[in-house]
Structure 1
Amino acid sequence: MYFGTYLSLVLTTFFWGATFIAGRSLAGAVPPATAAFFRFTIASAALLILCRLIDGRLTVPPPRLWFSLFLLGLTGVFSYNICFFTGLHYIEAGRASLIIALNPLAITLFASLLLKEPLAPRQFIGVIVSLIGALFVISNGHPSVIYNGDFGKGELAILGCVASWATYSLVGRSVLKTMTPLSAVFYSSVIGSLLLLLPALREGSLIEAVNYSTLTIGNLAFLGLCGTAIGFSLYYQAIRKIGATRSGVFINLVPFFAIILSWLILGESIKPVVLSGGVLVLAGVTLTNMPTRKNTAIAPQQLSSRQ
């Protein structure tokens, strides 16, 4: 009955998994802020069209929401993508995807620490399991590196993605009470693009876009169109048809696709111990975010993915 919806969710997670490969491919070719600026400029134009097609119109935010939308652009677009492209300059795409798989866990922890939302025993166990797995993923199989405080810029940058997305998702709660998800993503994308313009100009490489290779242009277009605009629209249409809970289960496919594609396209490989840590991360995240009877609306992490 919902075969088409499930197929669209698989396609969406495939797109999101492939963003890690596109981002890794851009490393060295386009500076982080410039890559992010082009990605979300493309995404903003596509989202404007999709908002009109899917929502029927573009909702104008009330004045009280503009500060929240600014925070969404600052965290979910600006800081997330600076960290994303910086991190992929240093570490493998597959391992980065396993670290970013901590997003739902970080949202749960932020909500507990900042908003005083209680953790059920099951959620607490899930947190512990995920953190154990994260030790092996972040340290590339050498947890002692973390204990010594000696791990690289790439890992720190990808952890910055996780912190940025957790903040973005929690701020998005208030916005989603008034605006449609696609409209919220559109405005945050536009604001984030404007915030990215200045650091992109400082990198001094915007004008070099005229000399970009076909592969570089293709990667930027893929990130903006498939990884952001089309991915979000397919995902939110699925939420409307089968609900946030069943749609959210498919998020676990993102690192799977990222690892497979990084092996096929980039020739990357992941240590078995790191892969085992990734399995623990996903198991703990699943346990932490298992639906409860009260959890029937769009959960805070459903404002994303993984971009």
Structure 2
Amino acid sequence: METKKIWLIYLMLALATSTWGSAFIAGKIAIESFEPATVAFFRFFGAVILLFPLMWYLEKDIPKPTKKDWFLFAMLGLTGIALYNIFFFIASKHAPVIKSSLFIASNPILIILLSALFLKEKISRNQVLGLVLAMLGVAFIITNGHLEVFINMDFELIDLVLLGAVICWALYSVIGRIVLRKFSSIVSTTYAVAFGTVFLFPFALMETSVADLTSGTIGAWASIGHMSVFVTVVSFIMYYYGIQQIGAAKASIFINFMPISAVIMASLFLGEALTIPHLIGALFVLSGVTLSTYKRTSKASKANTMKKLA
């Protein structure tokens, strides 16, 4: 793969995962009017309305799914769409921001381990060092430089909810890698979102009513619309394409951009202070991503050059 194209993929992944950070802000607004499963259902119901026409327009020769393919699509919908988002919005409503960010930031570790275990993807030394550096940066950001938060943190029931979110997203990323061997990123995303929306419907039906829907604020509906179009449709397709091109383990490194963007947007839209520790942490994350990607790209580039000269 050409160096220029690789860096475009890296930029795309950074943009996609940074956009996910806005879900923290939009989720906080939406959850004030609706319950978790209801927010998740309308988010993906809006997304699936956009995704199917887009898929039919862009994809001319979609492979016919087998029973195994439908099962994998259903697992994508169950793990990364239905369960993950129920956990995410429950956490948005009940969990402290620091604790939620800590758990979600641990996603790349589990993804890399599962990718190595089930997909036989190799883990390089630079990738491990970059991951550690990025995780340190994330920890610095969400604790505002006070790392003793780790020591003082008590175990609570909400921790199980957050752990469930991390496990679901890791499974979603790894299963997605398998699906992408046959289907494009937009086809995989569309079917995953469709199954996830179906799984979410009965939960939304149980916890909400017509009166609840009509009493929702404009801000809540606008937040759901933002999550449908930008956080789901645009960003999911970009993330899946990145996984298809560079692998689930390496792409997962970019998830560390999510808490950075969440912190920045929180300061802009919620009035939270952007501190020096936040900026230092952002530097660590960017350095970690660079270490885990650029070094390996450089070696691959040298190898290709040697082949051309041979």
- State the TM-score, normalizing by the size of structure 1: 0.75
Matching residue of 1:227: 231
C-alpha change, 1:102 and 1:281, in structure 2 (3 Å) is farther
Q: Give ranges in structure 1 of 5+ residues lacking alignment.
A: 297-307
Query: Which residue of the other structure, out of 174, 177, 181, is the alignment partner of 1:177?
Result: 181
Indicate whether 1:260 and 2:261 are aligned: no
Distance in 1, Cα, partners of 2:221 & 2:206: 21
Matching residue of 2:35: 31
Distance in 1, Cα, partners of 2:260 & 2:169: 20
* Deviation, structure 1 residue 184: 0.9
* Deviation, structure 1 residue 253: 5.1
* Deviation, structure 1 residue 207: 5.5
Distance in 2, Cα, partners of 1:286 & 1:49: 37
The correspondence of residues 232-247 of structure 1 with structure 2, limited to 5 A, is 232-233=236-237, 244=246
Name the amino acid aligned to 1:183.
V
The correspondence of residues 11-90 of structure 1 with structure 2, limited to 5 A, is 12=16, 15-56=19-60, 59-90=63-94
Q: Is the 8 A contact 1:93 1:262 kept in 2?
A: no
Distance in 2, Cα, partners of 1:213 & 1:109: 42
Name the amino acid aligned to 2:195.
I
Q: Give the SS at the match of 2:272.
A: coil
Distance in 1, Cα, partners of 2:261 & 2:53: 28
Matching residue of 2:216: 212
- State the TM-score, normalizing by the size of structure 2: 0.74
Matching residue of 2:166: 162
Root mean square deviation of aligned Cα = 4.0
Q: Give the SS at the match of 2:183.
A: coil
C-alpha change, 1:207 and 1:279, in structure 2 (3 Å) is farther
* Deviation, structure 1 residue 33: 0.9
C-alpha change, 1:155 and 1:26, in structure 2 (3 Å) is farther
Q: Give the SS at the match of 2:173.
A: helix
* Deviation, structure 1 residue 228: 1.1
C-alpha change, 1:97 and 1:58, in structure 2 (3 Å) is farther
Q: Is the 8 A contact 2:257 2:285 kept in 1?
A: no
Query: Which residue of the other structure, out of 126, 142, 154, is the alignment partner of 1:150?
Result: 154
Distance in 2, Cα, partners of 1:257 & 1:80: 20
Matching residue of 1:120: 124
Point out the more displaced range, 46-55 or 122-131: 122-131
List per-residue Cα deviations over 1:268-297 (Å, max 9, x = no partner): 23554465445434543543455746989x
Distance in 1, Cα, partners of 2:94 & 2:72: 32
State the percentage of identical aligned residues: 34
Distance in 2, Cα, partners of 1:153 & 1:138: 20
Q: Give ranges in structure 2 of 5+ residues lacking alignment.
A: 302-310
Matching residue of 2:112: 108
Distance in 2, Cα, partners of 1:275 & 1:151: 29
Matching residue of 2:304: none
List per-residue Cα deviations over 1:138-163 (Å, max 9, x = no partner): 65655445446515666664554333
Matching residue of 2:133: 129
How many pairs are equivalent? Answer: 290
Q: Is the 8 A contact 1:35 1:220 kept in 2?
A: yes
